[in-house]
């Protein structure tokens, strides 16, 4: 484990080390909450069929990396249809939030069907979390951060509600570091937003502007174009001020 931590931490430092990361635009695509809600209301009926098996390896790897202790308090930001909920140990407390009522309805059905007494579901804007500071041990955003209107604001809220020493985890697609693929992702991003994500969200820019320092970054799923990014909330620090817009 020590070897893994040294390798991934070094890679994370490289990712946010670019001089212009704190000022660059995060994406060519801009969205509003109403648009996002409409997209996911439409996707709710078939999300599990289309995105369930394809993205499931990343979900499993994220849960493994969490190393959830009994009694842990977990916030899942963008719980969607609740596809992750039965993966959590029954000994932890899980709060799932989502902006889409249609998605939450599917999640409620899943919670009832599976008898998940350790789960509560709330409709909420990820940019304005209605929780006190330092409320959760793990704050996790699976396949969410590239679709919200303001990724940095969501990250700030996730950091605020995470306890010092707790983990902030993103499972997401980010723009490739390969110049050719990067240009292609920028070109198609205005189209991919209609199926639930921006194809060109810039990871170094996002991390720098959110004031987050990853302890590990791993490629997941097949093909490996998604990233599992783990950060730890430092003691006694505030989120860095935003210096650029998404």
Please report how the helices 47-66 and 101-114 are oriented relative to each other, as an axis angle in degrees rounded to 10.
70
pLDDT, residue 121, reads: 98
pTM of this structure: 0.88
pLDDT, residue 119, reads: 98
The structural domains of the chain, with segments of one domain joined by +, span: 30-173+214-232
pLDDT, residue 18, reads: 61
- Mapping DSSP to helix (H, G, I), strand (E, B) and coil, where does residue 165 land? strand
The per-residue b/e assignment along 79-114, b for 16 or more CB within 10 angstroms, e otherwise, is: bbbbbbbeebeeebebbbbbbbebbbbbbeebbeee
pLDDT, residue 49, reads: 92
- Mapping DSSP to helix (H, G, I), strand (E, B) and coil, where does residue 225 land? coil
- Mean pLDDT of residues grouped by 10 in the chain (246 residues)? 35 57 90 92 92 95 96 98 97 98 97 98 98 98 96 98 98 96 96 93 96 96 96 73 40
Superfamily name and number for 30-173+214-232: Vaccinia Virus protein VP39 (3.40.50.150)
Neighbours of 6 (CB within 10 A): 10
How many whole angstroms separate alpha carbon 84 and alpha carbon 56?
9
pLDDT, residue 242, reads: 44
pLDDT, residue 24, reads: 86
61 pairs with which residues across the strands? none
């Amino acid at each position: 484990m020590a070897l893994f931590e040294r390798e991934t931490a070094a890679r994370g430092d490289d990712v946010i080390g670019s001089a212009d990361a704190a000022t660059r635009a995060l994406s060519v695509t801009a969205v509003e909450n109403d648009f996002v809600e409409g997209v996911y209301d439409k996707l709710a009926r078939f999300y599990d069929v289309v995105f369930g098996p394809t993205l499931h390896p990343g979900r499993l790897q994220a849960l493994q990396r969490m190393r959830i202790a009994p009694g842990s308090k977990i916030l899942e930001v963008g719980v969607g249809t609740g596809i992750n909920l039965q993966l959590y140990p029954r000994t932890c407390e899980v709060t799932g939030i989502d902006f889409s009522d249609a998605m939450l309805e599917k999640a409620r059905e899943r919670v009832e069907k599976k008898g998940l007494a350790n789960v509560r579901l709330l409709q909420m804007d990820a940019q304005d979390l209605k929780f006190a500071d330092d409320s959760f041990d793990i704050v996790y955003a699976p396949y969410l951060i590239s679709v919200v209107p303001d990724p940095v604001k969501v990250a700030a809220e996730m950091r605020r509600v995470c306890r010092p020493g707790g983990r902030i985890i993103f499972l997401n697609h980010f723009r490739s570091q390969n110049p050719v693929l990067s240009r292609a992702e920028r070109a198609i991003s205005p189209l991919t937003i209609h199926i639930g994500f921006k194809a060109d969200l810039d990871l170094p820019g996002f991390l720098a502007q959110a004031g987050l320092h990853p302890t590990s970054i791993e490629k997941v799923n097949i093909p490996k174009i998604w990233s599992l990014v783990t950060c730890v909330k430092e003691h006694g620090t505030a989120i860095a001020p935003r210096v650029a817009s998404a």
